[in-house]
Structure 1
């Protein structure tokens, strides 16, 4: 596989045949084996370190490896067919914290990042890698700078990095993201709109 870096696409060799890439971090890539081991390897395929994530319960199986950065995020299927999102230490694979998640949504939900925090569906993953994931009960839709935009029931809310929910009120403008230049991208009634900073010149519609 190749990883896009500042120097262009850099090829990375698989440490062991059959492993799948989970995440690229800095100058290395995290790979997963069929038996569950996570391996950090250099572009040459040389293993830097390995860790075996500890199952959050006896009989739990890996449903999805979400990502690996300063800790590993894994969705586990429990023996009763429910699911949990667990955060694992990279030192020994131990469970830092785990929280129940919707089984079906957790499989397909995008991992959103705002500042140092992240969200998967309704679960907030704090920036501190030693902190446990927290269920906010609000479903994140998009990351906007340092906050997330989503909904809780029928209410639109902003979700801060500490899990605080701020009512966003009713709006016909739906945020869809933030551009590389820091502009807010929205869509409403089929129209794409790009909003600048408060002190910038207005709006561009396409």
Structure 2
């Protein structure tokens, strides 16, 4: 089991979000947005739909077995690993933004893994402490895609959904796609680069 964990973590392929889906135009964004349409409050003068663009860099706070078993179960029973990643960056509707992701990953043969497996907590937070809640699921793949830097170790491109929030994000909905990868930084640790694009419907004046 230790050998398996070292292989997975060493490749740096247990990260946030991946799939082979790649949005070529706005139709892909619209499909994700419409899937979550039931959460929208679209009364005239109350809500508006805007572009959504967030770029940030993340750090793995933890990758390994869920020692308590409360979130992912014990590794020897479930085969799942707990991942926790935090990040900082900027984006539309945020100015400065921070991120928090914690979820369970199931390693797959050849590297990478699927997520989330039964548990995920995910949100963005702006400078005022307002939270934007998120859902995302997919798979991490070894290697890199065209356009990604040569130092990328693995990548993840998945649909995400906005499920609400607090403060100015209360009642928000929408979604889009991630465009992320893992890389080794100068500190010798595996970090993450995230670029999320899509649409958000949120209350006017917020």
TM-score bucket (shorter structure) = under 0.3
Q: Between Structure 1 and Structure 2, whose CA radius of gyration is higher?
A: 1
Please identify which structure carries the higher helix content. 2
Greater relative contact order structure (CA < 8 Å, 6+ sep): 2
